[in-house]
Amino acid sequence: MEHFKRYAVYFAPRPGAFADAAATWLGRDAVTGAAIPQPPVPALQDLTADPRRYGFHGTIRAPFRPAQGLDVAAIAAAVEGLAAQLAPAQGPGLRLADLHGFLALVPDDEESAILRLGAAVVEGTEALRAPLTDAEIARRDPARLTPRQRSLLTRWGYPYVMDAFRFHLTLTNRLPPDRAADVTAAAQAHFAPHLPRPFMIADLCLFGEDAQGTFRLLHRYALSG
């Protein structure tokens, strides 16, 4: 069975127009790993390099190294069991937003159900992750985090969970200021016909990081609780 360095629990859209639009924008299919021609936006391949590595997704449980003794089958079984206990989360829709210099799709309005789901998944997958190493903690640059975020990092292995969780689907790297306007306009035109209304998280998607540092979708489990 293939070995993965890290695992993550993400939202990823089910097959359809929205998923196709997202894969085209990033230039990679997260299921097959195949490269896809991107829209004719200057330097879009470079401007989407970071999110392309992860595949189009919304983080629910951030990437983690597996706890000692756990393989992909054990992790998959745990995520499947968790999905069977949790209900889908729904919001009115998605909108394009500039998040401190990078573009993302974010919930359009009320997201309390998504926040509750995020907290339940973080808590329900806590036993799957190995403790953070000193190097992993240092990469989070704790000095720049708030006291609350540092506490969350220590407790849950990631600083942006629970009350600090903000669901988003990343579309670009941090953009050069002189490119922000044209890339934003291109993204708006590309996604506008395909944004789901309402927006629903109906699955937990288990992703794995391969030896090259690229994430791909391993399993999709319907939320059926």
Per-residue CA distances from 128 to 4, 65, 124, 142, 179 (Å): 14, 8, 9, 23, 40
Per the CB < 8 A criterion, the answer to whether 183 and 41 are in contact is yes
Q: What is the pLDDT of residues 46-85, one digit of tens each?
A: 999 999 999 999 999 999 999 999 999 999 999 999 999 9
Question: What is the per-residue pLDDT for 1?
Answer: 44
Per the CB < 8 A criterion, the answer to whether 166 and 107 are in contact is no
| Position 183, amino acid | V
Catalogue all structural domains in the chain, each as residue range(s) with its CATH number: 6-222 (3.90.1140.10)
Alpha carbon distance 146, 152 (integer Å): 10
The SS3 assignment for 120 reads: helix
151 CA to centre of own chain = 22
What's the mean pLDDT in 121-139? 96
